[in-house]
Structure 1
């Protein structure tokens, strides 16, 4: 039907579409949320009904998931793998991708580049004793911290560096924690909150007095979610997962199940509230549309959600705008086997910024999963940039990574790999280069308080409007699925009560 637009300046003969829930953003979070809501609401409203609308501004689903292939190579330009937690595995089974599941060897060594050597990260107490990555003094200092011989908490929120340095000493921080922080979050250990970014570890001291005591005394988790019988063999500890054609298979399979619930090329431009509910204005390939719904969920990045909420909830918009996203470039290069150490076996390597390199880390993709490179070649995913890049560039008197051309970024990575990994000079095969101007949300100091204030503002000022995204409490794909399913259940329970 045609209605008068509830927004000045939004003109034309506009179509009104009534829905129970509108989900904005078709990344893995939005897709999972829409699927669970559609299943739950259809069971009460009857098959054939479409109470949910999932809108995506681009022409594809998956958000930051970006699987590519060319000339016998296959690689990821966003998330590169996942931890096989039950919620994610069960979703894979549900959408018919069990036969596409790949699990990497959990025993593949991880390396840190330190003082011109690739040194394996110790993965067990026995390996730690013999590791050359830490000195004898560094090992003793870390052991004392694990046993609780550390300074008491300072009574204020600590950064990642402050917490782990107090607990385990400066060597562990510089050689393990800092590169891990930059590798997972593209983050700065001097800015990230230990309690927000590493909650499971950082909370042990508060609850049990020390990391060692916490590891033994913490209450066992509730009964884990049952795993679909289709998942065989059951993943082992330390394994990582992917899919034969790349991670994009999962969002594409969910999208197929959603059918007409999903609308691509629908850009949300307006968000209003009145007695009828929430009005969402969209620019679509077919023209302007208004959708009115009882519930709206934004599964967008924080900066995009902030723009939509600027007028409707200024406080929430301001809080979301305070969440930082540094730029990260993913440079994918390949080399012939004869130019690499033999045999090449490993997950990849991380590089502490103190070693003077621009690359944060490299994943040895073709060592992890099959069919990632033609026979006789290896494929490497290299991550450049992050929260510390601007300071690094300023110190060196060079442009930040976002100001370089794709060719210049690829050359930086190749020159550094030549020093770290290659055994003889050879030109790289350039497969792809993707710059994410705003890559991974940063859980900086005060993050947990910001999120609590955000949720309170949404509940008080715009009830029925929610956010569900990786800036809340975990950036991994499994976290995204967990959050989406929990929110779907919360919404469905609200209608059942």
Structure 2
């Protein structure tokens, strides 16, 4: 049995980014021996790009913020000419009191916005300037002095901002419940600003002043501007597929990890179920990029405390519904990123991306494509509906917000029900991570790299993969040095 340097379990964007970094940094004459094992028959994890009848759509993540790491990765794997970006000036909307209201993106827009009342604007202004009461109360004490997203933003910016801006954003990013999500975990940068400056404005200014200087930009990486969202001409799947092509036969599909065990020489034996029967792999390091509930089962025999902490992460059910309508069915022109819907507006859908407005050439002439998300932490019942029922719910909501009266049923491109969609950064998040880190000390060479740690966006996944690659590389170098010194 060949001894690998690193076994990576999972070929989602986290695992592939990590594998790319290790593969790229490995130098001859002794390149690292890497294997990426994926249980599905394709790479990409939650990235699900589909085409048909002249349409191209996404059933998982729909776009990315162009972070430096992600952009560098795209260029490194030959996708520079495939990059596309949506117009950053496209407005975002919130559906409030039966109207689509533009989200104010600048101070002047906030002043003119009809989304907030005049008292609501004043409350937000005074709170942002630091006129904020302390976090206190019996409930907070019961929570270990950790504020929920709802508590934090109500305290700093008031109820209106919380209900009309923050809550729909939480639905769009986490499909989460702001009364359960940890403010420090889900909105870490904002929470730190408040801690640093005593108020959000002062904290933002101090954070900008103390921010490390940026490294010189790589001239080979296209420049982007704040607010832009990116993709690729052939959809997001282009990135994982390009990385996998670079790695070649180091990527194994339909390999399902059934058991992981430690050896006396501090390596790990991984047992896989594969199309060719059972396969065993031995590796010096193992990186598990699998969801928390899968990782919990794998680590239960090796580290029950880590397994217990991982089992505490919750993943609500979310359905992605992609519908197409003729232009004649839609009220006016759809120009914008899309709309989010706060709870309490009589609308079950969490939000809708105006896909045909965001990226050109993905929809046949005369059609609009709308990608809606429904379910989440505040609507667990969505998992009990079948596809036809889910389409009816979404179509009814769209009829109230975007469509003309009595339009016929849409062309249904996809209904993808993610039974366990997005990990929730709920109260106690950092305690769980600390328990995991402490437990992993007894398993040297085992690393976790998944979106329940450090952010759920694609850019977060790439950055996390690069960071873990550095840790794995350092561990292997140290082990090699220890061996030579014996």
**TM-score scaled by length of structure 1:** 0.92
Q: 2:100 aligns with which of 110, 113, 118?
A: 118
Contact 2:356 2:368 in 1 (8 A): yes
Partners of 1:346 and 1:54 in 2: CA distance: 39
Query: Aligned partners of 1:228, 1:380: CA distance in 2, in Å?
Result: 36
Contact 1:366 1:380 in 2 (8 A): yes
Q: Give the conservation status (yes or no) of the 8 Å contact 1:86–1:225.
A: no
Partner of 2:483: none
Mapped partners of 2:23, 2:79: distance in 1? 20
More deviation in 416-425 or 373-382?
416-425
Q: Per-residue displacement from partner, 1:274-332 (whole Å, max 9, x unpaired)?
A: 22311111111111111111110100010110110111111101100000000000000
Shift of 1:17: 3.7
Out of 225, 228, 231, the position equivalent to 1:242 is: 231
Write the deviation string for residues 8-30 of structure 1: whole angstroms up to 9, x where unpaired.
xxxxxxxx342111110000010
Deviation string for 1:391-424 (max 9, x for gaps)? xxxxxxxxx1111111110111001100110124
Q: 2:69 aligns to what SS in structure 1?
A: helix
Other-structure match for 2:481: none
Distance 1:224 1:333 in 2: 42
Superposition map of 1:111-260 within 5 A: 111-154=93-136, 156-218=145-207, 219-232=209-222, 234-260=223-249
User: Match of 2:296, SS?
Assistant: helix
Alignment partner, residue 450 of structure 2: 469
Match of 1:45, SS state, is: coil
2:24 is the counterpart of 1:39: yes
Matched ranges for 1:476-491 at <5 A:
476-491=457-472
Which residue of structure 2 aligns with residue 94 of structure 1? 76
In structure 2, the CA distance between the partners of 1:225 and 1:330, relative to structure 1 (3 Å rule), is farther
Alpha-carbon distance, 1:226 to partner: 4.7
Matched, 1:412 2:393: yes
Taking the aligned partners of 1:361 and 1:441, their CA distance within structure 2 comes to 18
Contact 1:93 1:228 in 2 (8 A): no
Q: Contact conserved, 2:195 with 2:203, CA < 8 A, in 1?
A: no
Select between 420-429 and 284-293 the one with higher mean Cα deviation: 420-429
Q: Distance in 1 between matches of 2:213 and 2:374?
A: 40
State which of 466, 469, 475 in structure 2 corresponds to 1:494.
475
Compute the displacement of 1:41 (Å).
Answer: 3.2
Question: Structure 1 residues 405, 244: CA separation in 2 closer, same or farther (over 3 Å shift)?
Answer: same
Give the distance between the partners of 2:418 and 2:198, measured in 1 at CA.
40
Which of 373, 398, 401 is equivalent to 1:383?
373
1:367-411 CA-to-partner distances (Å, cap 9, x unmatched) read 010112111111010000000003xxxxxxxxx111111111011
Conserved? CA contact 1:278–1:293, under 8 Å? yes
Q: Please report the RMSD computed on the Cα atoms of aligned residues, expressed in angstroms.
A: 1.3
- Structure 2 stretches of 5 or more lacking a match? 479-486
Whole-Å separation in 2 of the counterparts to 1:209 and 1:193: 19
Q: For the Cα contact (< 8 Å) 1:17–1:289, is it kept in 2?
A: no
| 4+ residue segments displaced more than 4 Å | none
Matches within 5 A, 1:304-383: 304-383=294-373
Asked if structure 1 preserves the Cα contact closer than 8 Å seen for 2:445 and 2:472, the reply is: no
Tell me the TM-score normalised to structure 2 length. Answer: 0.94
What runs of 5+ residues in structure 1 fail to find an aligned partner?
1-15, 391-399
